[in-house]
Amino acid sequence: MLDIQKFIWAPKIIVSQVDDRTTKFEVKYLPRGFGQTLGNALRRIILWYSVGWAVTGLKIKWVNHEYHVIDGVKESVVDMMLKFKTLRFKVDEKADNIQWISQRFSGIGLYTSSNIKLPAGIELLNEDVDLFEITDPSLELNIDIRIEKWYGYYSIDYLRSRDRKDDDMDANVLLIDNEFKVIDYIKYDVEEVIEDFTGSTKDLLVIEIRSWFKGVSPKEIMMFAWEVLASYAKLFIFDNIYIDRSFLVDMEDLDRVQDKFQEETNIKTMPIDALPLSERTRNALIKNNILYVEDLEKKKKWELLLMKWVGRKAIDEINSALANIDKALIG
């Protein structure tokens, strides 16, 4: 980080839950201009490269192309494929990136995504999707569902080429082009905050992420995006190139500087009432408009002695109280 952060302190992230699908991230504070730079880069990565699980193929028994008509099913095969295309899953991290799920449906009625029986480690994120309706009581529908983990978009041409290359081409697989993102939207806003004392500005970056489903973790999406950005940044680290790091600062150093500053600030703004003074001395200082330790530090002994109700005994008491917090009068 740039050493300018010493003056605006280490960036802090405040995470707040707007609702069960929306999360807001506030970054306080960044150097001027960094809010737009980081916010735009992050938005583009998340919109296109968020990782998810989606359906990329179906195998329906006795069906070898999408224009086939299944007697006893109200919907066309194309309509069924479009419904399965909308499904999104959450799968155990240790699982392979391609999973096949076998299903068997029988009996008259409307079947939804909630009727899909999933093995351990696989969770359906949208359980309210109408898939198809069986109208023939004697029909038994066997469907194998292929789900995959990826990002971006898989076209039919890509899937066909990949399956052929991997010797995994099955003529009975109905390929489904799909995008894997689970994000409804991501938006960011940058507010310029004016520093009261110096007049300089710093950026407050606010990022809001809304997912399509409740089971999606915006924190995981955010972390993955930053890992992607950091990995590409490493491409520009060259060997045998000198960088003047005197303008850079580590997060740990910022925290130490900030903690020290806050400790000193807390002492300066400590009210006189907090010092171990007698009631007579405390009241004398308050009546002379000395209300905080910071006010007391700016005084000399002779200035206090000129004040009403303050004598040498009070001065000794004040010196002792200030020494306890490593402070003293000017002279």
The percent of residues in the chain predicted with pLDDT above 70, rounded, is 88
Write the CB contacts of 328 (distance below 8 Å, at least 6 apart in sequence): 297, 319, 322
CA angle 12, 18, 22 (to 5 degrees): 95
Domain 5-50+184-256: give its CATH superfamily. RNA polymerase, RBP11-like subunit (3.30.1360.10)
Among 4, 49, 19, smallest CA distance to 222 is for 49
Query: Of 24-38, 123-137, 311-325, which one has max mean pLDDT?
Result: 123-137
- Contact predicate 188/210, CB 8 Å: no
Residue pLDDT, tens place only, 61-88: 999 999 999 999 999 999 999 999 999 9
CATH 1.20.1440.60 holds for 269-323 = no
**Is the CATH number of domain 52-179 2.170.120.12?**
yes
Residues in the chain: 331
Helix (H) or strand (E) holding 29: strand 22-31
Q: Percent of the chain at pLDDT above 90? A: 50
pLDDT, tens digit (0-9, with 9 covering 90-100), for 255-272: 554 454 444 445 455 777
**pLDDT at site 331:** 63
pLDDT at 118: 94
Is there a contact between 193 and 29 (Cβ–Cβ < 8 Å)? yes
Averaged pLDDT score across all residues of the chain? 86
- Among 186, 190, 182, 203, smallest CA distance to 24 is for 186
The pLDDT tens digits of the residues spanning 197-228 come to: 455 688 999 999 999 998 888 888 999 999 99
Omega prior to 153 cis, within 30 of 0 = no
Q: Which residues lie below 8 Å from residue 128, measured CB to CB, with a gap of 6+?
A: 112, 113, 114
**Domain residue spans in the chain?**
5-50+184-256, 52-179, 269-323
Give the residue among 147, 166, 98 at the shortest CA–CA distance from 158.
Answer: 166
